[in-house]
Structure 1
Amino acid sequence: MTDPSRRRQQRGGDQAARTYLITGAASGIGRATARRLGARGHRVIGADLKDTDISADLGTAEGRALLAEAAADLGGGRLDAVIACAGVAAYDPVTVRVNAFGAIATLTGLRPLLAAGRDPRAAAVASVAVLHPADPAIVEAVLADDEAAAVAAARAAVERGEGQRVYASAKHALARWVRRAAVSDAWAGAGIPLNAIGPGIIRTPMSRPMLEDPEVRAIADAAVPMPLHGYGEPEQVAPLLDFLTSPENTHVTGQVVFIDGGADAVLRGDASW
Protein backbone atom coordinates (compact mmCIF):
# COMPACT_ATOMS: atom_id res chain seq x y z
CA MET A 1 0.00 0.00 0.00
CA THR A 2 1.25 3.47 -0.78
CA ASP A 3 0.77 6.66 1.17
CA PRO A 4 -1.19 9.35 -0.69
CA SER A 5 1.81 11.68 -0.31
CA ARG A 6 3.78 9.35 -2.56
CA ARG A 7 1.47 9.75 -5.51
CA ARG A 8 3.51 10.58 -8.58
CA GLN A 9 3.73 10.07 -12.31
CA GLN A 10 4.80 6.64 -13.50
CA ARG A 11 8.25 6.28 -14.98
CA GLY A 12 8.33 7.93 -18.37
CA GLY A 13 5.20 9.96 -17.56
CA ASP A 14 3.07 7.78 -19.87
CA GLN A 15 0.25 7.33 -17.39
CA ALA A 16 -0.96 9.44 -14.49
CA ALA A 17 -1.07 7.93 -11.03
CA ARG A 18 -4.36 6.22 -10.27
CA THR A 19 -6.26 5.24 -7.13
CA TYR A 20 -6.86 1.51 -6.72
CA LEU A 21 -8.79 -0.44 -4.13
CA ILE A 22 -7.69 -4.05 -3.65
CA THR A 23 -9.38 -6.54 -1.35
CA GLY A 24 -7.33 -9.40 0.04
CA ALA A 25 -4.38 -7.01 0.02
CA ALA A 26 -2.67 -8.41 3.12
CA SER A 27 -1.30 -11.53 1.43
CA GLY A 28 -0.97 -13.57 -1.75
CA ILE A 29 -2.04 -12.17 -5.10
CA GLY A 30 -3.65 -9.11 -3.54
CA ARG A 31 -0.49 -8.16 -1.71
CA ALA A 32 1.74 -8.73 -4.74
CA THR A 33 -0.56 -6.63 -6.91
CA ALA A 34 -0.71 -3.83 -4.36
CA ARG A 35 3.08 -3.76 -4.16
CA ARG A 36 3.46 -3.71 -7.94
CA LEU A 37 0.99 -0.87 -8.38
CA GLY A 38 2.50 1.07 -5.49
CA ALA A 39 5.97 0.73 -6.99
CA ARG A 40 4.61 2.14 -10.25
CA GLY A 41 3.46 5.28 -8.47
CA HIS A 42 -0.21 4.52 -7.92
CA ARG A 43 -2.12 4.98 -4.71
CA VAL A 44 -3.43 1.69 -3.36
CA ILE A 45 -6.15 1.39 -0.72
CA GLY A 46 -5.91 -2.10 0.71
CA ALA A 47 -8.70 -4.04 2.39
CA ASP A 48 -8.51 -7.31 4.31
CA LEU A 49 -9.38 -8.74 7.70
CA LYS A 50 -6.41 -6.87 9.21
CA ASP A 51 -3.09 -5.18 8.45
CA THR A 52 -4.50 -2.98 5.69
CA ASP A 53 -6.15 0.43 5.28
CA ILE A 54 -9.63 -1.05 5.66
CA SER A 55 -10.36 -3.95 8.01
CA ALA A 56 -13.54 -5.66 6.86
CA ASP A 57 -14.93 -9.18 6.81
CA LEU A 58 -16.45 -9.61 3.35
CA GLY A 59 -18.21 -12.76 4.49
CA THR A 60 -20.72 -10.53 6.28
CA ALA A 61 -23.18 -7.86 5.21
CA GLU A 62 -21.70 -5.53 7.82
CA GLY A 63 -18.21 -5.97 6.44
CA ARG A 64 -19.34 -5.29 2.89
CA ALA A 65 -21.13 -2.11 3.96
CA LEU A 66 -18.06 -1.02 5.93
CA LEU A 67 -15.89 -1.55 2.85
CA ALA A 68 -18.09 0.65 0.67
CA GLU A 69 -18.26 3.39 3.27
CA ALA A 70 -14.54 3.40 4.01
CA ALA A 71 -13.63 3.24 0.32
CA ALA A 72 -15.77 6.29 -0.41
CA ASP A 73 -14.12 8.15 2.46
CA LEU A 74 -10.51 7.20 1.67
CA GLY A 75 -10.99 7.58 -2.06
CA GLY A 76 -12.59 10.98 -1.78
CA GLY A 77 -15.74 9.76 -3.50
CA ARG A 78 -13.99 8.14 -6.44
CA LEU A 79 -11.82 5.21 -7.46
CA ASP A 80 -10.04 4.53 -10.73
CA ALA A 81 -9.87 0.75 -10.33
CA VAL A 82 -11.12 -2.04 -8.10
CA ILE A 83 -9.56 -5.49 -7.81
CA ALA A 84 -11.51 -8.09 -5.83
CA CYS A 85 -8.85 -10.54 -4.63
CA ALA A 86 -10.15 -11.57 -1.22
CA GLY A 87 -10.88 -15.26 -0.93
CA VAL A 88 -10.77 -18.33 1.27
CA ALA A 89 -10.54 -22.07 0.58
CA ALA A 90 -12.48 -24.10 3.09
CA TYR A 91 -15.04 -26.90 3.02
CA ASP A 92 -17.48 -24.50 4.61
CA PRO A 93 -20.24 -22.08 3.55
CA VAL A 94 -17.93 -19.18 4.43
CA THR A 95 -16.20 -19.89 1.12
CA VAL A 96 -19.39 -18.97 -0.74
CA ARG A 97 -19.99 -15.95 1.47
CA VAL A 98 -16.52 -14.49 0.79
CA ASN A 99 -15.55 -15.78 -2.65
CA ALA A 100 -18.89 -15.16 -4.34
CA PHE A 101 -21.08 -12.76 -2.39
CA GLY A 102 -18.15 -10.80 -0.94
CA ALA A 103 -16.50 -10.35 -4.33
CA ILE A 104 -19.75 -9.42 -6.08
CA ALA A 105 -20.64 -6.98 -3.30
CA THR A 106 -17.20 -5.41 -3.64
CA LEU A 107 -17.70 -4.81 -7.36
CA THR A 108 -21.30 -3.65 -7.19
CA GLY A 109 -20.83 -1.62 -4.02
CA LEU A 110 -17.85 0.27 -5.39
CA ARG A 111 -19.13 0.70 -8.94
CA PRO A 112 -20.52 4.20 -8.17
CA LEU A 113 -17.03 5.24 -7.07
CA LEU A 114 -15.61 3.83 -10.29
CA ALA A 115 -18.17 5.78 -12.31
CA ALA A 116 -16.70 8.93 -10.78
CA GLY A 117 -13.12 7.86 -11.51
CA ARG A 118 -10.77 8.32 -14.43
CA ASP A 119 -10.62 5.49 -17.01
CA PRO A 120 -12.34 3.16 -14.53
CA ARG A 121 -11.60 -0.57 -14.59
CA ALA A 122 -12.46 -3.58 -12.43
CA ALA A 123 -11.30 -7.17 -12.07
CA ALA A 124 -12.00 -10.15 -9.85
CA VAL A 125 -9.89 -13.17 -9.00
CA ALA A 126 -11.77 -16.33 -9.94
CA SER A 127 -9.81 -19.59 -10.41
CA VAL A 128 -9.03 -22.40 -12.79
CA ALA A 129 -11.43 -24.26 -10.49
CA VAL A 130 -14.26 -22.76 -12.59
CA LEU A 131 -13.49 -25.71 -14.91
CA HIS A 132 -14.09 -28.27 -12.16
CA PRO A 133 -17.47 -29.82 -11.28
CA ALA A 134 -19.75 -27.34 -9.53
CA ASP A 135 -22.89 -27.68 -7.47
CA PRO A 136 -25.75 -26.21 -9.56
CA ALA A 137 -27.75 -25.32 -6.44
CA ILE A 138 -24.92 -23.16 -5.10
CA VAL A 139 -24.25 -21.49 -8.43
CA GLU A 140 -27.87 -20.69 -9.21
CA ALA A 141 -28.48 -19.34 -5.71
CA VAL A 142 -25.51 -16.99 -6.07
CA LEU A 143 -26.70 -15.77 -9.45
CA ALA A 144 -30.16 -15.23 -7.97
CA ASP A 145 -28.55 -13.17 -5.18
CA ASP A 146 -30.01 -15.54 -2.59
CA GLU A 147 -27.27 -15.84 0.00
CA ALA A 148 -29.31 -17.89 2.45
CA ALA A 149 -30.07 -20.49 -0.22
CA ALA A 150 -26.45 -20.56 -1.39
CA VAL A 151 -25.20 -21.10 2.16
CA ALA A 152 -27.73 -23.86 2.73
CA ALA A 153 -26.70 -25.55 -0.52
CA ALA A 154 -23.03 -25.29 0.45
CA ARG A 155 -23.75 -26.79 3.85
CA ALA A 156 -25.63 -29.64 2.19
CA ALA A 157 -22.71 -30.29 -0.15
CA VAL A 158 -20.33 -30.55 2.78
CA GLU A 159 -22.68 -32.94 4.56
CA ARG A 160 -22.79 -35.12 1.41
CA GLY A 161 -18.99 -35.31 1.41
CA GLU A 162 -18.70 -32.95 -1.56
CA GLY A 163 -17.02 -30.09 0.26
CA GLN A 164 -14.46 -29.73 -2.53
CA ARG A 165 -17.25 -28.47 -4.79
CA VAL A 166 -17.97 -25.47 -2.58
CA TYR A 167 -14.86 -23.55 -3.68
CA ALA A 168 -15.32 -24.45 -7.35
CA SER A 169 -19.00 -23.47 -7.20
CA ALA A 170 -18.28 -20.10 -5.61
CA LYS A 171 -15.66 -19.25 -8.22
CA HIS A 172 -17.84 -20.60 -11.04
CA ALA A 173 -20.70 -18.37 -9.92
CA LEU A 174 -18.40 -15.35 -9.66
CA ALA A 175 -17.09 -15.92 -13.18
CA ARG A 176 -20.61 -16.25 -14.58
CA TRP A 177 -21.69 -13.10 -12.76
CA VAL A 178 -18.75 -11.20 -14.27
CA ARG A 179 -19.66 -12.43 -17.75
CA ARG A 180 -23.27 -11.28 -17.29
CA ALA A 181 -22.55 -7.97 -15.64
CA ALA A 182 -19.68 -6.90 -17.90
CA VAL A 183 -21.89 -6.28 -20.92
CA SER A 184 -24.66 -4.53 -19.01
CA ASP A 185 -25.47 -0.83 -19.08
CA ALA A 186 -24.03 -0.46 -15.58
CA TRP A 187 -20.58 -1.63 -16.73
CA ALA A 188 -19.98 -1.66 -20.49
CA GLY A 189 -22.60 1.03 -20.97
CA ALA A 190 -20.75 3.19 -18.46
CA GLY A 191 -17.39 2.53 -20.12
CA ILE A 192 -16.06 0.28 -17.33
CA PRO A 193 -14.28 -2.91 -18.43
CA LEU A 194 -14.97 -5.76 -16.00
CA ASN A 195 -13.03 -9.03 -16.12
CA ALA A 196 -11.94 -11.99 -14.03
CA ILE A 197 -8.75 -13.99 -13.99
CA GLY A 198 -8.43 -17.73 -13.48
CA PRO A 199 -5.16 -18.54 -11.71
CA GLY A 200 -3.88 -22.09 -11.54
CA ILE A 201 -2.00 -23.21 -8.43
CA ILE A 202 -0.22 -20.18 -7.02
CA ARG A 203 2.09 -20.38 -4.01
CA THR A 204 0.24 -18.33 -1.41
CA PRO A 205 -0.55 -18.71 2.28
CA MET A 206 -3.92 -20.15 1.22
CA SER A 207 -2.39 -22.91 -0.93
CA ARG A 208 0.57 -23.70 1.34
CA PRO A 209 -1.18 -26.39 3.46
CA MET A 210 -2.25 -28.20 0.29
CA LEU A 211 1.21 -28.09 -1.25
CA GLU A 212 2.88 -29.28 1.95
CA ASP A 213 0.78 -32.46 2.07
CA PRO A 214 2.15 -34.93 -0.55
CA GLU A 215 -1.15 -36.79 -0.90
CA VAL A 216 -3.23 -33.65 -1.32
CA ARG A 217 -0.59 -32.15 -3.60
CA ALA A 218 -0.83 -35.16 -5.93
CA ILE A 219 -4.59 -34.71 -6.15
CA ALA A 220 -4.15 -31.00 -6.88
CA ASP A 221 -1.59 -31.71 -9.58
CA ALA A 222 -4.02 -34.06 -11.31
CA ALA A 223 -6.86 -31.55 -11.07
CA VAL A 224 -4.75 -28.60 -12.20
CA PRO A 225 -2.03 -29.83 -14.61
CA MET A 226 0.41 -26.98 -15.30
CA PRO A 227 2.89 -28.02 -18.01
CA LEU A 228 4.33 -24.51 -18.43
CA HIS A 229 6.70 -23.73 -15.53
CA GLY A 230 4.53 -25.46 -12.89
CA TYR A 231 3.19 -23.56 -9.90
CA GLY A 232 3.09 -19.79 -10.08
CA GLU A 233 4.05 -17.02 -7.70
CA PRO A 234 1.75 -14.12 -6.79
CA GLU A 235 4.19 -11.71 -8.43
CA GLN A 236 3.64 -13.52 -11.74
CA VAL A 237 -0.11 -12.93 -11.56
CA ALA A 238 0.06 -9.24 -10.61
CA PRO A 239 1.05 -7.97 -14.09
CA LEU A 240 -2.12 -9.42 -15.61
CA LEU A 241 -4.31 -7.65 -13.07
CA ASP A 242 -2.24 -4.51 -13.65
CA PHE A 243 -3.00 -4.57 -17.37
CA LEU A 244 -6.69 -5.44 -17.06
CA THR A 245 -7.26 -2.49 -14.72
CA SER A 246 -5.09 -0.01 -16.61
CA PRO A 247 -6.26 2.60 -19.14
CA GLU A 248 -4.44 0.54 -21.78
CA ASN A 249 -7.23 -2.02 -21.55
CA THR A 250 -9.94 -0.46 -23.65
CA HIS A 251 -11.75 -3.48 -25.12
CA VAL A 252 -11.12 -6.58 -23.01
CA THR A 253 -14.25 -7.14 -20.95
CA GLY A 254 -16.41 -10.01 -19.76
CA GLN A 255 -13.48 -12.40 -19.93
CA VAL A 256 -12.08 -15.02 -17.59
CA VAL A 257 -8.39 -14.86 -18.45
CA PHE A 258 -6.62 -18.01 -17.33
CA ILE A 259 -3.10 -17.70 -15.95
CA ASP A 260 -2.60 -21.35 -15.20
CA GLY A 261 0.50 -22.76 -16.88
CA GLY A 262 -1.68 -24.40 -19.52
CA ALA A 263 -4.17 -26.15 -17.23
CA ASP A 264 -7.18 -24.83 -19.14
CA ALA A 265 -5.80 -26.13 -22.45
CA VAL A 266 -5.02 -29.53 -20.91
CA LEU A 267 -8.41 -29.89 -19.24
CA ARG A 268 -10.59 -28.59 -22.07
CA GLY A 269 -8.43 -29.38 -25.08
CA ASP A 270 -8.54 -27.50 -28.37
CA ALA A 271 -12.33 -27.39 -28.78
CA SER A 272 -12.94 -24.54 -26.33
CA TRP A 273 -11.68 -20.98 -26.12
Structure 2
Amino acid sequence: MARKFVVTGAASGIGKALTEQLRGEGKTVYGVDLRDADVNVDLTTAEGRTELVAKVTELSGGTIDAIVAVAGLAAPIPATVGVNYFGAIATLEGLRPLLAGSDAPRAALVASLAALEPTDPPLHAALLSGDEEKSLELAKAIADAPTDTPSNAIYNTSKNAIALWVRKNAPTDEWAGAGIPLNAVAPGVIATPMTAAILETEEGRAAMAAGAPSPLNGPAAPASAPAALLAWLTSEQNTHVTGQIIYIDGGADTIRRPDSI
Protein backbone atom coordinates (compact mmCIF):
# COMPACT_ATOMS: atom_id res chain seq x y z
CA MET A 1 0.00 0.00 0.00
CA ALA A 2 1.27 3.49 -0.89
CA ARG A 3 2.56 5.59 1.98
CA LYS A 4 0.28 8.49 2.86
CA PHE A 5 1.73 11.97 3.37
CA VAL A 6 0.30 15.29 4.54
CA VAL A 7 2.15 18.29 3.06
CA THR A 8 1.20 21.84 4.05
CA GLY A 9 2.08 24.69 1.73
CA ALA A 10 1.48 22.26 -1.13
CA ALA A 11 0.33 24.79 -3.72
CA SER A 12 3.68 26.49 -4.29
CA GLY A 13 7.43 26.46 -3.72
CA ILE A 14 9.00 23.66 -1.71
CA GLY A 15 5.63 22.17 -0.75
CA LYS A 16 4.58 21.92 -4.39
CA ALA A 17 7.90 20.39 -5.42
CA LEU A 18 7.66 17.84 -2.61
CA THR A 19 4.06 16.97 -3.47
CA GLU A 20 4.96 16.44 -7.11
CA GLN A 21 7.95 14.28 -6.22
CA LEU A 22 6.02 12.08 -3.81
CA ARG A 23 3.08 11.62 -6.19
CA GLY A 24 5.52 10.81 -8.97
CA GLU A 25 6.87 8.01 -6.78
CA GLY A 26 3.37 6.62 -6.30
CA LYS A 27 2.79 8.02 -2.81
CA THR A 28 -0.57 9.38 -1.67
CA VAL A 29 -0.36 13.06 -0.72
CA TYR A 30 -3.00 15.15 0.99
CA GLY A 31 -1.95 18.67 0.05
CA VAL A 32 -2.86 21.55 2.36
CA ASP A 33 -2.88 25.24 1.52
CA LEU A 34 -5.05 28.34 1.57
CA ARG A 35 -6.38 27.40 -1.87
CA ASP A 36 -5.78 25.03 -4.79
CA ALA A 37 -5.14 22.04 -2.52
CA ASP A 38 -6.92 18.93 -1.27
CA VAL A 39 -7.48 20.65 2.07
CA ASN A 40 -7.97 24.43 1.91
CA VAL A 41 -7.54 25.97 5.37
CA ASP A 42 -5.98 28.99 7.06
CA LEU A 43 -3.35 27.78 9.51
CA THR A 44 -3.18 31.16 11.25
CA THR A 45 -6.56 30.44 12.87
CA ALA A 46 -7.75 27.93 15.47
CA GLU A 47 -10.66 27.07 13.17
CA GLY A 48 -8.32 26.33 10.28
CA ARG A 49 -6.11 24.10 12.41
CA THR A 50 -9.11 22.15 13.70
CA GLU A 51 -10.49 21.80 10.20
CA LEU A 52 -7.10 20.55 8.97
CA VAL A 53 -7.18 17.62 11.39
CA ALA A 54 -10.82 16.82 10.67
CA LYS A 55 -10.41 16.85 6.88
CA VAL A 56 -7.17 14.87 6.85
CA THR A 57 -8.73 12.31 9.18
CA GLU A 58 -11.66 11.98 6.82
CA LEU A 59 -9.58 11.75 3.65
CA SER A 60 -7.03 9.33 5.07
CA GLY A 61 -9.40 7.07 6.96
CA GLY A 62 -7.59 7.95 10.18
CA THR A 63 -4.10 6.75 9.32
CA ILE A 64 -1.16 8.54 7.70
CA ASP A 65 2.55 7.78 7.44
CA ALA A 66 4.21 11.19 7.37
CA ILE A 67 3.61 14.88 8.10
CA VAL A 68 5.62 17.62 6.42
CA ALA A 69 4.89 21.16 7.61
CA VAL A 70 6.14 23.39 4.81
CA ALA A 71 3.59 26.24 4.91
CA GLY A 72 5.18 29.54 5.83
CA LEU A 73 5.33 33.28 5.31
CA ALA A 74 8.28 35.65 5.03
CA ALA A 75 6.31 38.90 5.22
CA PRO A 76 6.88 41.36 8.11
CA ILE A 77 3.38 40.82 9.50
CA PRO A 78 1.93 39.07 12.59
CA ALA A 79 0.48 36.24 10.47
CA THR A 80 4.06 35.09 9.87
CA VAL A 81 4.39 33.87 13.45
CA GLY A 82 0.90 32.36 13.22
CA VAL A 83 1.90 30.15 10.30
CA ASN A 84 5.64 29.61 10.78
CA TYR A 85 5.50 28.70 14.46
CA PHE A 86 2.05 28.04 15.87
CA GLY A 87 0.61 26.72 12.61
CA ALA A 88 3.51 24.32 12.14
CA ILE A 89 3.25 23.02 15.69
CA ALA A 90 -0.53 22.66 15.44
CA THR A 91 -0.08 20.69 12.21
CA LEU A 92 2.46 18.31 13.70
CA GLU A 93 0.80 17.83 17.08
CA GLY A 94 -2.74 17.77 15.70
CA LEU A 95 -1.97 15.10 13.12
CA ARG A 96 0.47 13.07 15.23
CA PRO A 97 -2.25 10.68 16.50
CA LEU A 98 -2.88 9.66 12.89
CA LEU A 99 0.70 8.38 12.68
CA ALA A 100 0.01 5.72 15.31
CA GLY A 101 -1.18 3.19 12.74
CA SER A 102 1.90 3.53 10.51
CA ASP A 103 4.73 1.01 10.46
CA ALA A 104 7.17 3.85 9.71
CA PRO A 105 5.79 7.17 11.01
CA ARG A 106 7.79 10.27 10.13
CA ALA A 107 7.59 14.06 10.54
CA ALA A 108 9.51 17.09 9.31
CA LEU A 109 9.18 20.82 8.86
CA VAL A 110 10.91 23.71 7.12
CA ALA A 111 13.08 26.09 9.13
CA SER A 112 15.47 28.53 7.41
CA LEU A 113 19.01 29.84 7.19
CA ALA A 114 17.39 32.99 8.61
CA ALA A 115 17.37 31.22 11.98
CA LEU A 116 21.01 32.36 12.25
CA GLU A 117 20.04 36.03 11.97
CA PRO A 118 19.36 38.28 14.99
CA THR A 119 16.03 37.62 16.69
CA ASP A 120 13.69 39.82 18.71
CA PRO A 121 14.18 38.67 22.34
CA PRO A 122 10.67 39.42 23.69
CA LEU A 123 9.00 37.78 20.68
CA HIS A 124 11.38 34.83 20.90
CA ALA A 125 10.52 34.29 24.57
CA ALA A 126 6.78 34.52 23.88
CA LEU A 127 7.02 31.96 21.07
CA LEU A 128 8.99 29.48 23.15
CA SER A 129 6.53 29.87 26.02
CA GLY A 130 3.66 29.00 23.67
CA ASP A 131 1.83 32.29 24.23
CA GLU A 132 0.27 32.94 20.82
CA GLU A 133 -1.75 35.98 21.87
CA LYS A 134 1.31 37.77 23.24
CA SER A 135 3.40 36.68 20.27
CA LEU A 136 0.93 38.22 17.85
CA GLU A 137 0.84 41.46 19.86
CA LEU A 138 4.64 41.68 19.86
CA ALA A 139 4.82 40.88 16.16
CA LYS A 140 2.28 43.62 15.44
CA ALA A 141 4.41 46.10 17.39
CA ILE A 142 7.43 45.14 15.30
CA ALA A 143 5.43 45.42 12.08
CA ASP A 144 4.00 48.81 13.05
CA ALA A 145 7.29 50.34 14.20
CA PRO A 146 8.33 53.27 11.99
CA THR A 147 11.27 52.27 9.79
CA ASP A 148 12.61 52.94 6.31
CA THR A 149 13.21 49.24 5.76
CA PRO A 150 10.74 46.47 6.72
CA SER A 151 12.14 44.40 9.57
CA ASN A 152 12.99 40.73 9.11
CA ALA A 153 12.82 40.20 12.86
CA ILE A 154 9.43 38.45 12.78
CA TYR A 155 10.52 35.92 10.17
CA ASN A 156 13.97 35.34 11.67
CA THR A 157 12.56 34.88 15.16
CA SER A 158 9.81 32.51 14.06
CA LYS A 159 12.27 30.30 12.17
CA ASN A 160 14.79 30.24 15.02
CA ALA A 161 12.04 29.33 17.49
CA ILE A 162 10.61 26.53 15.36
CA ALA A 163 14.09 25.06 14.91
CA LEU A 164 14.56 25.05 18.68
CA TRP A 165 11.12 23.44 19.07
CA VAL A 166 12.26 20.57 16.86
CA ARG A 167 15.45 20.10 18.89
CA LYS A 168 13.52 20.13 22.17
CA ASN A 169 10.70 17.82 21.13
CA ALA A 170 12.39 15.27 18.88
CA PRO A 171 13.81 13.10 21.70
CA THR A 172 10.62 13.07 23.80
CA ASP A 173 8.28 10.16 24.40
CA GLU A 174 5.70 11.67 22.06
CA TRP A 175 8.09 11.62 19.11
CA ALA A 176 11.23 9.46 19.40
CA GLY A 177 9.56 7.35 22.07
CA ALA A 178 6.75 6.63 19.62
CA GLY A 179 9.21 5.74 16.86
CA ILE A 180 8.72 9.03 14.97
CA PRO A 181 11.81 10.85 13.67
CA LEU A 182 11.23 14.62 13.77
CA ASN A 183 13.58 16.85 11.76
CA ALA A 184 13.81 20.16 9.93
CA VAL A 185 15.50 21.39 6.79
CA ALA A 186 16.86 24.93 6.79
CA PRO A 187 17.04 26.27 3.23
CA GLY A 188 19.15 29.21 2.18
CA VAL A 189 18.02 31.09 -0.90
CA ILE A 190 15.55 29.04 -2.95
CA ALA A 191 14.58 29.88 -6.52
CA THR A 192 10.85 30.54 -6.25
CA PRO A 193 8.52 33.18 -7.70
CA MET A 194 9.17 35.22 -4.53
CA THR A 195 12.94 35.47 -5.23
CA ALA A 196 12.83 35.45 -9.04
CA ALA A 197 12.87 39.24 -9.48
CA ILE A 198 15.83 39.66 -7.11
CA LEU A 199 17.85 36.89 -8.74
CA GLU A 200 17.33 38.35 -12.22
CA THR A 201 19.69 41.27 -11.55
CA GLU A 202 23.38 41.34 -10.75
CA GLU A 203 22.70 43.65 -7.80
CA GLY A 204 20.06 41.30 -6.45
CA ARG A 205 22.30 38.28 -6.71
CA ALA A 206 25.09 40.18 -4.95
CA ALA A 207 22.73 41.12 -2.11
CA MET A 208 21.62 37.52 -1.74
CA ALA A 209 25.24 36.32 -1.75
CA ALA A 210 26.16 38.80 0.98
CA GLY A 211 23.64 37.37 3.42
CA ALA A 212 23.63 33.78 2.18
CA PRO A 213 26.98 33.04 0.51
CA SER A 214 26.70 29.86 -1.55
CA PRO A 215 30.03 28.59 -2.88
CA LEU A 216 28.35 25.36 -3.97
CA ASN A 217 26.33 25.91 -7.16
CA GLY A 218 25.49 29.57 -6.79
CA PRO A 219 23.09 31.88 -4.98
CA ALA A 220 19.89 29.84 -5.14
CA ALA A 221 18.82 26.22 -5.05
CA PRO A 222 15.72 24.96 -6.86
CA ALA A 223 12.76 24.05 -4.67
CA SER A 224 13.34 20.42 -5.62
CA ALA A 225 16.55 20.35 -3.53
CA PRO A 226 14.98 20.77 -0.06
CA ALA A 227 11.99 18.76 -1.29
CA ALA A 228 14.21 15.76 -2.02
CA LEU A 229 15.78 15.99 1.44
CA LEU A 230 12.37 16.20 3.08
CA ALA A 231 11.27 13.15 1.10
CA TRP A 232 14.19 11.13 2.47
CA LEU A 233 13.77 12.36 6.06
CA THR A 234 10.15 11.17 5.99
CA SER A 235 10.89 7.91 4.19
CA GLU A 236 11.08 4.41 5.62
CA GLN A 237 14.87 4.54 5.09
CA ASN A 238 15.30 7.16 7.82
CA THR A 239 15.43 5.11 10.99
CA HIS A 240 17.85 7.12 13.15
CA VAL A 241 18.11 10.75 12.01
CA THR A 242 16.07 12.88 14.41
CA GLY A 243 16.22 16.30 16.05
CA GLN A 244 18.38 17.66 13.25
CA ILE A 245 18.27 21.06 11.55
CA ILE A 246 19.86 20.30 8.19
CA TYR A 247 21.06 23.36 6.31
CA ILE A 248 20.59 23.15 2.56
CA ASP A 249 22.25 26.41 1.62
CA GLY A 250 25.22 25.82 -0.68
CA GLY A 251 27.65 26.24 2.22
CA ALA A 252 26.34 29.44 3.82
CA ASP A 253 26.11 27.93 7.29
CA THR A 254 29.73 26.75 7.17
CA ILE A 255 30.84 30.28 6.24
CA ARG A 256 28.62 31.95 8.82
CA ARG A 257 29.61 29.55 11.63
CA PRO A 258 32.94 27.93 10.69
CA ASP A 259 33.82 27.02 14.28
CA SER A 260 30.43 25.65 15.30
CA ILE A 261 29.30 22.04 15.06
Specify the TM-score bucket, using the shorter chain as the normaliser.
Answer: over 0.9
Match of 2:252 in 1: 263
Aligned match for 1:34, one of 16, 19, 23: 19
**In the alignment, is residue 225 of structure 1 matched against residue 225 of structure 2?**
no
Specify whether residues 209 and 170 from structure 1 end up closer, same or farther in structure 2 by C-alpha distance, changes over 3 A only: farther
Aligned match for 1:185, one of 150, 173, 183: 173
Give the distance between the partners of 2:99 and 2:209, measured in 1 at CA: 38
Amino acid at match of 1:232: A
Give the distance between the partners of 1:113 and 1:45, measured in 2 at CA: 13
Match of 2:129 in 1: 144
Query: Helix, strand or coil: the match of 1:206?
Result: helix
Q: 1:216 Cα deviation (Å)?
A: 5.5
Report 1:1-273 matches (<5 A): 17-158=2-143, 159=145, 161=147, 163-211=151-199, 217-230=205-218, 231-269=220-258, 271-273=259-261
User: For each residue in 1:10-58, what CA deviation from the matched residue of structure 2 results, as whole angstroms up to 9, or x when unmatched?
Assistant: xxxxxx5200000000011001101111111110100001111000111
Give the distance between the partners of 1:83 and 1:241, measured in 2 at CA: 8
User: For each residue in 1:234-260, what CA deviation from the matched residue of structure 2 results, as whole angstroms up to 9, or x when unmatched?
Assistant: 112221011100011011000001110
Amino acid at match of 1:94: A
User: For each residue in 1:134-177, what CA deviation from the matched residue of structure 2 results, as whole angstroms up to 9, or x when unmatched?
Assistant: 11222221111111111122122231646211111011111011
Give the distance between the partners of 1:154 and 1:217, measured in 2 at CA: 29
Give the distance between the partners of 2:49 and 2:194, measured in 1 at CA: 21
- Contact 1:91–1:164 (CA under 8 A) maintained in structure 2: yes
Specify whether residues 219 and 142 from structure 1 end up closer, same or farther in structure 2 by C-alpha distance, changes over 3 A only: same
Gaps of 5+ in 1: 1-15
Instruction: Tell me the percent identity.
Output: 51
Q: 1:115 Cα deviation (Å)?
A: 1.9
Query: Helix, strand or coil: the match of 2:193?
Result: coil
